Structure 1
Amino acid sequence: MSEEREALRLIARAPMRTVRAPDLAGVYAFPASALGALARRGVVHRLAHGIYCAVPPEHIGGTWRPSLEAATAAIATALYGDRIPVLTGLTAARLHQALPRALGVGHVAVPTQRRPMRLADRDGEIRFVMRTVANLDAVAVTTELGQALVTTPEQTLLDLARADPRAEDLDTQEAIDALRRQCDPAVLEDLATRQRMRATHTRLTAGR
């Protein structure tokens, strides 16, 4: 039991209360097996292969799972470190309440290339986008697993417009229309200039 208490203490104190199995190598000889046992008891929740998060005390033993947005941030944080990944694209739009429908794909900007990762608790995946994350205009938001970084409405709007220049994706265009109402025009123009997205900004201001 002392090992379990120590493991749960480490998970609770980890960024976004999420760990990879190797993070508990100092506690368990076989951390993957131990985490699997804790997950079966409903004490921790398996997000993806080898990645687990703490279950809130009021939901222990139940069927709780975090939102896709929180799970995306938590998994990326476990892989890259605290306050490094930045939720982006339609995932950021969801957090800015610019897209009401739930999605099956989480989008997160990270500093290195990484293949998509399947989620273990739902039919969905995380797509990692390699960006210079320090250059992104981002803010901290609170999720059920802790604070995560997300692109600002202005950054999200520019990113979505650049990704769908022909206005072919309905979800993207719905999010763009909603984000327009949240953005400060001066901030948007300045950001587009600094990030060399003037052509994208021109399309947006022309109503495309």
Structure 2
Amino acid sequence: MRDRVTLPTALARRANKVLRPRDAADVYTHPRSEFERLLDQAVLWRISTGYYALAPMERLGDPRWRPDLAAVALGVAQADYGRDAAALMSVTAARRHGALPRAVATAVVAVPKQRPVLHTAVGDVVFVKRDVRRLDLERAETELTTGWMTTPEQTALDVAARPELGGLGRAAAEPVLRALARKIDWAVTEELARDQHRPGALARLKEAAGA
């Protein structure tokens, strides 16, 4: 099957491997029908209505491949709003920072506009309206795209402020906050809390950390 896989260079070289049919309008005359062909060839994987993930080159043609939920969340957000207007945050960033040992079925991503949850076969993507320029960020590399996620300091404040995002709840958030507290610079965290007007989140973080 692999020897029958065909993929235009313009698509293969895209930095963001999450595609919408309109992203291929300059490659195909009828992108939707071509995407169906690529789905049959296991070159694309259907994320949800209107969104597709391009399999890594080494997995082209492999019907068993599934993308990572965090990669899906970041890729979809970038496809709609651009690379610098999206960032993984909350429990998703906590997981990538090693503060959440178990995978959860929800990914949280900051975007410029509020929008409904996106349901996919690998989990739900929750979009949170945030001005990404005001967040403390670091580089995030995923199998579908490279972009941004919140730093441990920003993540700790976000989880403390809204532990229900991603389905944790207050009790389950406590060990996550303790794990993040071991990774953060407290001076940076306190400065972020002041700048973002989050004294309550800082207080909850300190309480969880025993600081």
TM-score, normalized by length of structure 2? 0.87
Contact 1:15 1:77 in 2 (8 A): no
Aligned residue runs from structure 1 range 1-16, under 5 A: 8-16=8-16
Change (3 A) 1:174 1:207: closer
Change (3 A) 1:168 1:128: closer
- Residue 70 of structure 1 is matched in structure 2 by 71
Q: Distance in 1 between matches of 2:207 and 2:173?
A: 17
- The CA deviation at 1:81 is 1.3
Q: Distance in 2 between matches of 1:12 and 1:18?
A: 11
Change (3 A) 1:164 1:18: closer
Q: Distance in 2 between matches of 1:149 and 1:64?
A: 24
| Pair 1:138-2:137 in alignment | yes
Q: Distance in 2 between matches of 1:189 and 1:171?
A: 23
Q: Distance in 2 between matches of 1:27 and 1:168?
A: 45
Aligned residue runs from structure 1 range 69-148, under 5 A: 69-119=70-120, 121-122=121-122, 124-148=123-147
Considering only aligned residues, what root-mean-square deviation do their CA atoms show, in Å?
2.1
Q: Distance in 2 between matches of 1:132 and 1:143?
A: 22
| Pair 1:18-2:18 in alignment | yes
| Pair 1:176-2:177 in alignment | yes
Contact 2:111 2:132 in 1 (8 A): yes
- The CA deviation at 1:171 is 3.5
Change (3 A) 1:178 1:161: same
TM-score, normalized by length of structure 1? 0.88
Gaps of 5+ in 1: none
- Residue 148 of structure 2 is matched in structure 1 by 149
- The CA deviation at 1:168 is 4.4
Change (3 A) 1:19 1:173: same
Deviates more, 1:108-117 or 1:197-206: 197-206
Change (3 A) 1:73 1:168: closer
Name the SS of the counterpart of 1:190 in structure 2. Answer: helix
